[in-house]
Homo-oligomer: A and B are copies of this chain.
């Protein structure tokens, strides 16, 4: 019998997804909930709703608040100070392709390492070389992985994940979905999502 579980949908360009990626493992372990890490792309979902860009780009005041909010949240969470990546939001396509290609055991460490490169070191994760270095740093054979991540079947796999996110009603990242289809949007809802996942078992 499977225990409690939670689907964690994240986008590599999303600052609040970074926070959840750094927090979720310890919280889920304590709650006794198994997490499925599901990278997806927010771009197609925004476009399907008629938005061409991130709200952080179209609303400068919202962006300004997001960065100071993030500064406060990492202090509280005991995470390193944030470096604001340029360009923002980063193009997370290659990283997402690699993440869906990796197996369930390797995906969390790779995803966290990409987020650290992006939001702590301020590197451009849209650059192929950054993704290569992150993979190499984790001991992967990076050239093989990049080739396989960009093969048609794997591109299709990521498209499928983004479509799955869309079918579940996702409109932002991070989002958490429990087995009964309840959707929890935002890093601020991680604890509530874990509570619900545990309650329905």
Contact = CB atoms under 8 A, between A and B. Distances in A.
B172 A62 contact: yes
Interface in A99-129: none
B69 A189 contact: yes
Where chain A touches its partner, the secondary structure class is: helix
A122 to B, nearest CB: 24
A146 interface: no
Q: How large is the interface on A (under 10, 10 to 19, 20 to 34, 35 or more residues)?
A: 20 to 34
Contacts of A59: 49, 171
How many copies of this protein are present in the complex?
2
B49 A169 contact: no
A200 interface: no
Contact of A183 (B50, B65, B182): B65
Contacts of A62: 171-172
A1 interface: no
A65 B182 CA distance: 9
Given A49-B59, A59-B49, A65 B188 contact: no
Nearest to A172: B62
Closest 9 pairs between A and B when the two form their complex, measured CB to CB: A61-B171, A188-B188, A65-B185, A62-B171, A61-B169, A49-B59, A65-B183, A59-B171, A64-B169
